[in-house]
Structure 1
Amino acid sequence: MYIEVEKGVTVFVEDLNPGPNSKTIFFVHGWPLNHNMFSYQFNVLPQHGFRCVAMDIRGNGQSDKPWSGYTYDRLADDIFVVLEALQIRDAVLLGFSVGGAISIRYMSRYEGRHISKLALVDAVSPSFVKMPGSPYGVSKEQADGLISQMYANLPELLNTVSLQFFNRNLGTAMLQWFVKMGLDSASYALIKIMQAAVKENVINDLGQIRVPTGIFHGIHDQLIPFKSAELTQQQIKGSKLFSFDNSGHGLPICQADDFNKKLMAFVQS
């Protein structure tokens, strides 16, 4: 289905609803992907009675690809519009990578409306680049280099990132699937989302989260170091950190079975 999030801009939403009493998990993907990255959750969770709702962030996948609107605030606003339109209540908000940062911003900007629990998966938190209060990210120079590569040769960059994304060799077909998802996005949208990740942070948002929070992170993450997850856990009162010993940044794919089990346990706890 498609939902208009502002005048002239619609986003694609997948809603796998196995029944009226299903617990809802609302999925927010990361750069440079779309809702299909959660295929290995969608294959399983509805069988256990979970409603899985996922949106393609504007500029990505099947959503509209406007020139503007890629700040954390605007992307959080899009989440709010979709939750309101679907009349979702007491959902688990699950944000992956940059989607994790956007979900954190949503929780502070909207005071957690519609959400009963938060799941952060390899989240870009507290920041993508190193800064006071968040020393474990990439350097500003490295981040600017990634943006320059997107301007020059996006397919090559996506191929390079795909090798860093997974901790183990999942085969050529999986890497090609990753790259294809990236190429289904607008290149300018990927640039603008990366620019937002470089400029913004969620350091001041973390202390405003008031719902039970699970932080799921691969210890071999080359893009968002595990130490960032530890720092995030320290900043969200009462949150719990779940580590995954055989995962890099692509946890929902690298260790799908283990992740699904721990996610379901967290949701039901």
Structure 2
Amino acid sequence: MGYYVEVEKNVKIYVEDLNPKGEKTILFLHGWPGNHKLFEYQFNQLPKMGYRCIGIDQRGFGESDKPFDGYDYDRLSDDVRGVVDALKLKDFTLAGHSTGGAIAIRYMARHKEYGVCKLALFAAAAPSLIQRPYFPYGLPKQAVDDIIKGTYNDRPNMLRGFGDIFYFQHKTGAFSDWVFKLGLQASSWGTAATANTWLDEERLFYDLGMISVPTLIIHGIHDKVCLFPLGQAQNQGIKNSRLVPFEFSGHASFFDEKDRFNSVLASFIEE
């Protein structure tokens, strides 16, 4: 079922809540520029295995409200806390993909792991999506500048290019079209502002050290968005973490290797 949670005045976040009576809960945070529908295959299968699966659309994306501001990781993690409080969630697994993974990491540090018993990161955009003098493993800053410029000048073309590098195995036009259409559901201002956060945000390096719960890191070795060394850096920075490389995945292991992905995630939750 779907409903809305007001996280601040005049800003409502869309929540998809499947199998509310499930014994264990997974809260999914989607990546840029999609929405909760990116986890379609997980929502098809994991509730059958007894899990409560909750997907939220970040502000500016999907079916959530689209205010003009509030796209830094602090505010986005506060939005997550608003949903956690409204649903009274406890002992849940927080799962984040790409930018959603960065938001999950900020939530763990800023909100002191509130309610979370385990953390799962999928191709997370952390500790830095872009290259920095002390961190040479991300994308060139120019690549993000081009995304922001493309968002303002020709967003459909920018999204088309992003969809083309999203997958490793599923490179058919249909899959690229699907990501393209999910991206069009977002606001242009939220799309650009979130990308700008990638440039501004450096505190995730510190945040990694604040995480104490068991952490699963799934990262495709062919990822062209959040390069594989980011997963290795997360593994080094989070003390109680395990990195599981996905040899046949790009940025979307939850589709490139969907059966293995679900199996690895479920096994981690049951440990």
TM > 0.5 between the two?
A: yes
1:137-182 CA-to-partner distances (Å, cap 9, x unmatched) read 1122221111111111110111111111111244222211110000
Equivalents in 2 of 1:231, 1:156: separation in Å? 32
**3-state secondary structure, aligned to 1:165:** coil
* Residue deviations 1:212-251 (CA, integer Å, cap 9, x gap): 0000000000111111111110010020001101100011
CA 1:169/1:55 → structure 2, altered by over 3 Å: closer, same or farther?
closer
**Percent identity of paired positions between Structure 1 and Structure 2:** 44
- Partner of residue 188, structure 1: 189
In structure 1, the gaps of 5 or more residues are none
TM-aligned CA distance change 1:33 to 1:44, over 3 Å: same
SS at match of 1:208: coil
- SS, match of residue 94 in structure 1: strand
Residue equivalent to 1:237: 239
CA RMSD of aligned residues (A): 1.0
> Which residue of structure 2 lines up, in the alignment, with residue 3 of structure 1?
5
Query: Which residue identity is paired with 1:70?
Result: Y
Q: Would you say the 8 A contact 1:18–1:49 is kept in 2?
A: no
User: 2:71 aligns to what SS in structure 1?
Assistant: coil
Question: Which deviates the most, 125-134 or 74-83?
Answer: 125-134
Q: Does the alignment pair 1:118 with 2:123?
A: no
Contact 2:13 2:64 (C-alpha < 8 Å) held by counterparts:
yes
- Tell me by how many angstroms 1:132 deviates: 4.2
Secondary structure of the structure 1 residue equivalent to 2:137: coil
Output the CA distance in 1 between the equivalents of 2:98 and 2:199: 13
Superposed CA deviations along residues 6-59 of structure 1, whole A, max 9, x for unmatched, are 00000100000252x510000000100000000010000001000001100000
| Residues 1:2 and 1:18: Cα distance change in structure 2 (over 3 Å) | closer
Cα distance in 2 for partners of 1:234, 1:99 equals: 20
Instruction: Report the residue type matching 1:11 in the other structure.
Output: I
Partner of 1:51: 52
Aligned 8 A contact 2:27 2:92 in 1: yes
Letter in 2 for 1:55: I
Q: Find the residue that maps to 1:221 and give its secondary structure.
A: coil
Q: Is 1:256 the counterpart of 2:258 in the alignment?
A: yes
Contact 2:109 2:211 in 1 (8 A): yes
Rate the CA distance shift 1:68–1:18 in 2: closer, same or farther, 3 A. Answer: closer
Q: Could you say which residue in structure 2 is the equivalent of 1:135? A: 136
Q: Which residue of 1 aligns with 2:145?
A: 144
Partner of residue 216 from structure 2, selected from 214, 217, 242: 214
Whether the aligned pair in 2 keeps the contact of 1:95 and 1:103 (CA below 8 Å) is: yes
Name the aligned partner's letter for residue 251 of structure 2. H
SS at match of 1:203: helix
Measure, in 1, the Cα distance between the counterparts of 2:110 and 2:20. 30
Helix, strand or coil for the counterpart of 1:52?
strand
Which has the higher mean CA deviation after the structures are superposed, 40-49 or 163-172? 163-172
Q: Which residue in the other structure is 1:265 paired with?
A: 267
Is 1:95 equivalent to 2:68 in the alignment? Answer: no
Asked if 1:16 corresponds to 2:18, the answer is yes
Matched letter for residue 138 of structure 1: L
CA distance 1:132–1:268, shift in 2 (3 Å): farther
Alpha-carbon distance between aligned partners in 2 of 1:215 and 1:172, rounded to the nearest angstrom: 29
Q: TM-score, normalised by structure 2?
A: 0.97
Residue number in structure 2 paired with 1:79: 80
Query: Residues of 1 paired with 2:171 and 2:48: CA distance?
Result: 25
Whether contact under 8 Å (1:134, 1:228) holds in the other structure is: no
Q: Hey, what's the Cα distance between the residues in 2 that align with 1:129 and 1:153? A: 22
* Counterpart residue identity of residue 34, structure 1: N
Measured in 1, the distance between the counterparts of 2:129 and 2:268 equals: 26
Count residues with an aligned counterpart.
268
Within 1, Cα distance between the matches of 2:133 and 2:119? 25
